[in-house]
Amino acid sequence: MAIDLKTLSPKELQSLIVNAEAQMQEAKSSQIQNIRQKIDALLNSAGLTLADVYPTRGGRVGAKAGKRTVAPKYRNPEDPSQTWTGRGKRPLWFVAALKKRGVTAESLLIDGASVKKAGSAKKAARKATRRKVKHR
């Protein structure tokens, strides 16, 4: 059943492409279902589960299972329900507050929160390394 593509009109070619893509999707779905059945049969015959064969790293189940929530550092003085952890993009209320005269990031801190300057940990590590090199 060879088809001479040169003799087909653009409309016929488009129809052929659509039908071929649909057939490809069906074939792929069928292949996946067939492979799953074979894997399930193998696992059942061995008395194993997929989790036994492919355990997750560190016992985590999902990608977000290991993420921890971070306590907020900043609070909007005009609406105390709005807070920001200091991570990610600055919220609009934070940017607007900083534009006001006399308002600094430190003045928006929640009691007990501290501001760490970016790179301060890196600088401290570099200094410690330099000291070790000098004392050798």
- Specify the higher pLDDT residue, 54 or 132: 54
Average pLDDT taken over every residue of the chain = 83
Count of C-beta atoms within a 10 Å radius of residue 96: 13
> pTM to 2 decimals?
0.39
Sequence letter at residue 24: M
pLDDT tens, position by position, 50-83: 888 888 876 555 555 567 888 899 998 888 899 9
Residue 111 Cα to chain centre, angstroms: 31
Q: What is the mean pLDDT of residues 25-30?
A: 95
Q: How far apart are CA 19 and CA 12, in angstroms?
A: 11
Interacting residues of 13 by C-beta distance below 8 A, sequence separation 6+:
5
